[in-house]
Amino acid sequence: MSRLAVPKTYKLYIGGAFPRSESGRTYEVVSSSGAFLANAAKASRKDARDAIVAARAAVPAWAGATAYNRGQVLYRIAELLEGRRGQFIAEIEEAEGVSRAAASAQVDESVDRWVWYAGWSDKFAQVAGNANPVAGPYFNISVPEPTGVVAIVAPQDSSLLGLVSAVAPALVAGNAVVVVASERFPLSAISLAEVLATSDVPKGVVNVLTGAPAEIAPWLASHADVNALDLVGAADLDWISLEIEAADTLKRVLRPESGPDAAAPALGRISAFTETKTVWHTKSLR
């Protein structure tokens, strides 16, 4: 007896829920050979706005969690990702038209990168921060603090690895993230959102939008409640205009990167989304 196919509805991931686009729009996602794969939600500016509201609400608790706890939560994402390897490999094979071995390597690399960044969570402050020598009986300590809401245009030429490489470092310091997934390969991004939803990441800490970055990115760049903008996947957009718009509200901006080394793991991607707070404290006097 033949079974009816049960195709999956790919939706957005905003505030811990999976809504359809407010606009009701979808677009067709096709494989590398042009075959229909699924309909993905095409996010509008209002979805972006809702995502930013959700992210802003999530910042205090995520930024206030201990670095150790954040590391544990991030590591757990890697654990769950590992458990769903099969699904991701199949998705990447189909969407990107690569060999099983290549898809498998991409998933491995993604998991390893989560683990790598998770490990930095309670260690990067030791490297990025400092105890400054001062001419007086004071401790003078600089510590990196999360900047707040980070909007990301994910690398466009990769299903999973690019997304992970951009999202994970922004989370490490305690930022909340709104990410626009690859327009051509959005399905793994939503599957990753399912992993996030079932791991211990608080709702709103990561929000995933699918659709046209060219349409959504300007709204993220100009939004006054976004603190930083990662344009790593925006090489094909008018990213100079985005940078100018971001400057109006003094956002931190990372510029586009392309090629196989785009968004390579680096401590710089973590510290890019931090603000250095320096405090003075008296040394004990006797």
Partner 1 sequence: MSGTSLVTARERALAVLGGEPDDATLRRYLHGIAGVDAVGLEQRAAGLGTRSIKTTSKRRALDTIISLIDLTTLEGADTPGKVRSLVAKAVNPDPADATTPRVAAVCVYGDMVPFAVDALGAAHGDPDAGLISVAAVATAFPSGRASLDVKLADTAEAVAAGADEIDMVIDRGAFLAGRYGLVFDQIAAVKEACRRPDGSSASLKVILETGELATYDNVRRASWLAILAGGDFIKTSTGKVQPAATLPVTLLMLEVVRDWHLATGQRIGVKPAGGIRASKDAIKYLVTVAETVGEEWLQPHLFRFGASSLLNDVLLQRQKMSTGHYSGADYVTID
Rounded Cα–Cα distance for residues 264 and 162 (Å): 9
Q: Which is nearer to partner 1, 35 or 250 (CB)?
A: 250
- Residues whose CB falls within 8 Å of the CB of residue 267, separated by 6 or more in sequence, listed in order: 120, 124, 127, 128
Q: Which is nearer to partner 1, 48 or 179 (CB)?
A: 48
In the complex, minimum distance from the CB of residue 218 to partner 1, in angstroms, rounded to a whole number: 9
Q: Which is nearer to partner 1, 91 or 245 (CB)?
A: 245
Burial degree of 34 (CB within 10 A; 0-12, 13-18, 19+): exposed
In the complex, minimum distance from the CB of residue 223 to partner 1, in angstroms, rounded to a whole number: 4
In the complex, minimum distance from the CB of residue 16 to partner 1, in angstroms, rounded to a whole number: 20
Answer yes or no: are the C-beta atoms of 161 and 89 closer than 8 Å. Answer: no
C-alpha pair distances (Å), 191 with each of 188, 203, 223, 237: 5, 16, 27, 25
137-159 burial code (b ≥16 CB/10 A, e <16): eeeeeebbebbbbbbbbbbbbbb
In the complex, minimum distance from the CB of residue 221 to partner 1, in angstroms, rounded to a whole number: 9
Q: Which residue has the tokens 């359809």?
A: 20
In the complex, minimum distance from the CB of residue 71 to partner 1, in angstroms, rounded to a whole number: 29
Q: Which is nearer to partner 1, 180 or 270 (CB)?
A: 180
Report the relative pairing of strands 228-230 and 149-153 from DSSP bridges.
parallel
Task: Return the DSSP state at 13.
Answer: B
Binding site for partner 1 (CB under 8 A): 49, 52, 56, 219, 222-226, 245, 248
Q: Which is nearer to partner 1, 78 or 153 (CB)?
A: 153
Rounded Cα–Cα distance for residues 246 and 250 (Å): 6
Q: Which is nearer to partner 1, 191 or 207 (CB)?
A: 207
In the complex, minimum distance from the CB of residue 63 to partner 1, in angstroms, rounded to a whole number: 15
Q: Which is nearer to partner 1, 120 or 219 (CB)?
A: 219
Rounded Cα–Cα distance for residues 81 and 191 (Å): 10
In the complex, minimum distance from the CB of residue 135 to partner 1, in angstroms, rounded to a whole number: 35
